[in-house]
């Protein structure tokens, strides 16, 4: 343990992935810290007839959206994964050449609009509306998990994060293989459980509760800026009791999660008085439908005791609504680096925390 991590350069390890981050708090004493600007605010409308995601609108692929209310899910018109493997095509599987290895992949990509309201982010939805989104995540995960090894629920919020449509929405990608990040988390949680007989993230939640990195808490959920945070105001959303996947949550836990998501996203918005951009994603236990493509193909469908459902929030903003953190130079060529300590970031978030 670092006795006083607030003043000197040091490295911190991410136990979920085994990666390290360089923390350089002394750099916050630099004389120029950047100008603090307000973000420009776009006009708010509840329905935009030119938006491909609004009810009744034609999407880019030609399909017309129904007059939906609440969460609306549809197959991505331009998916990154395809359901059918091109196994009959020459060169579909390229083998394991050490220099040119390749692997055929299959999967599905879906889009989920939070609601019919063109302007309503998760921070602006009522708890019942967020709860409907949570239920949708659970239903989609269970359905896709019956056919695929991995179901990735995520949201890219804001143009700064590459979001191509302003209508608040997320995505769900399911794949027959474990993506690299999921594979790393699976391995490290499995190793920790085998060594200690306890869930890594359940133990982490217990040790972080009430500590300097806690941002928000409730009976069932905890938000912390993790010890190993890479992005300035990165947070980790954890259940305080066992839940391997979305489907494991009971009614009370889902209600509590809906309230916590609203509190967290409103806290982000309050920090720099803007609609805070981020990439957010959920990691739950892999499913049994490995189909021979995953690194742990022999794992049983119920082999999830080591896993704990959790969400990562990766916001890019650094000092204001317009000053962002870039992962360049040393970060790209060596390892991630941050100036603001996770403890300081948590304190700033707590100071504006939403009720």
> pLDDT tens across 51-84, in order?
999 999 999 889 999 999 999 999 999 999 999 8
Q: What is the pLDDT of residue 299?
A: 44
Contact in structure between 309 and 283 (CB atoms under 8 Å): yes
Per-residue pLDDT of the chain (355 residues; tens, 9 = 90+): 444 556 799 999 999 999 999 999 988 766 545 545 555 566 689 999 999 999 999 998 899 999 999 999 999 999 999 998 766 454 445 677 889 888 889 999 999 999 999 999 999 999 999 999 999 999 999 999 999 999 999 999 998 888 889 999 999 999 999 999 999 999 999 999 999 999 999 999 999 999 999 999 999 999 999 999 999 999 999 999 999 999 999 999 999 999 999 999 999 999 999 999 999 999 999 998 544 444 344 344 468 999 999 999 999 999 889 889 999 999 999 999 999 999 999 999 999 997 6
Query: 341 by DSSP, 3-state: which?
Result: coil
Please check whether residue 22 lies inside any domain of the structure.
no
Q: Is 94 a catalytic residue?
A: no
Tokens of 124: 């602006």
Q: Is 318 inside any structural domain?
A: yes
So what's the pLDDT on residue 159?
Answer: 87
CA pair distance 355, 347, nearest whole angstrom: 16
pTM of the model: 0.92
Report pLDDT for 30.
62
For residue 221, give the CATH number of its domain.
3.30.428.10
Q: Tokens standing for 221?
A: 């959920």
Q: Is residue 83 part of a domain?
A: no
In a domain, 15, yes or no: no
Residue 334's domain comprises 179-351
Q: Exposed e or buried b for every residue in 196-209, given b needs 16+ CB within 10 A?
A: eeebbbbebbeebe
Interval 3-43: pLDDT, tens: 455 679 999 999 999 999 999 998 876 654 554 555 556 66
Which of 47, 52, 118, 169 is catalytic? The answer is 169
Is 353 within 8 Å of 318 (Cβ atoms)?
no
pLDDT at 355: 63
* pLDDT for residue 215: 98
The beta-strand segments (E) located in the chain are 10-13, 20-23, 72-75, 107-113, 150-157, 169-175, 214-217, 221-224, 235-239, 278-283, 310-314, 337-338
- How many structural domains comprise the chain? 1
Indicate whether 260 belongs to any domain: yes
Is the Cβ–Cβ distance between 130 and 155 less than 8 Å?
no
Residue 201's nearest CA partner among 226, 179, 218 is 226
pLDDT of residue 294: 42
Q: Is residue 286 part of a domain?
A: yes
Whether residue 221 is contained in a domain is answered as yes
With respect to residue 91, please indicate whether it lies within any of the assigned structural domains.
no
Mean pLDDT of the chain: 90
Distances (CA, A) of 33 to 36, 225, 314: 9, 22, 21
Q: Which of 264, 222, 225, 228 is nearest to 243 (CA)?
A: 222
**Structure confidence at residue 6 (pLDDT):** 65
């Amino acid at each position: 343990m670092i006795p006083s991590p607030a003043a000197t350069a040091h490295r911190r390890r991410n136990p979920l992935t085994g990666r390290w981050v360089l923390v350089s708090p002394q750099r916050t004493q630099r004389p120029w810290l950047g100008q603090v600007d307000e973000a420009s605010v776009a006009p708010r409308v509840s329905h935009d007839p030119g938006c491909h995601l609004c009810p009744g609108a034609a999407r880019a692929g030609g399909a017309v959206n129904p007059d939906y209310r609440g969460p609306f899910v549809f197959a991505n018109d331009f998916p990154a994964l395809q359901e059918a493997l091109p196994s009959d095509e020459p060169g579909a599987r390229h083998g394991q050449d050490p220099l040119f290895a390749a692997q055929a992949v299959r999967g599905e990509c879906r889009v989920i609009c939070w609601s019919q309201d063109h302007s309503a982010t998760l921070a602006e939805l009522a708890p019942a509306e967020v709860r409907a989104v949570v239920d949708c995540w659970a239903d989609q995960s269970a359905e896709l998990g019956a056919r695929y090894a991995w179901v990735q629920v995520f949201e890219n919020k804001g143009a700064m994060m590459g979001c191509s449509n302003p209508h608040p929405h997320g995505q769900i990608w399911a794949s027959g293989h474990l993506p690299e990040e999921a594979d790393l988390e699976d391995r490290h949680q499995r190793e920790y459980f085998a060594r200690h007989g306890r869930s890594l993230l359940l133990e982490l939640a217990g040790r972080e509760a009430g500590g300097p990195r806690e941002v928000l808490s409730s009976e069932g959920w905890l938000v912390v800026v993790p010890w190993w945070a890479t992005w300035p105001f990165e947070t980790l959303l954890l259940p305080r009791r066992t839940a391997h996947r979305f489907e494991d949550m009971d009614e009370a836990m889902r209600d509590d999660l809906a309230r916590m998501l609203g509190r967290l996203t409103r806290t982000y918005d309050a920090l720099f008085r803007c609609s805070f951009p981020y990439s957010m994603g959920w990691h739950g236990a892999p499913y049994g439908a490995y189909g021979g493509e995953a690194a742990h193909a022999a794992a049983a469908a119920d082999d999830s005791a080591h896993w704990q459902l959790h969400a990562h929030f990766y916001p890019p903003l650094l000092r204001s609504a317009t000053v962002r953190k870039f992962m360049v130079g040393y970060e790209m060529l060596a390892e991630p680096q941050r100036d603001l300590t996770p403890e300081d970031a948590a304190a700033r978030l707590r100071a504006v925390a939403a009720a």
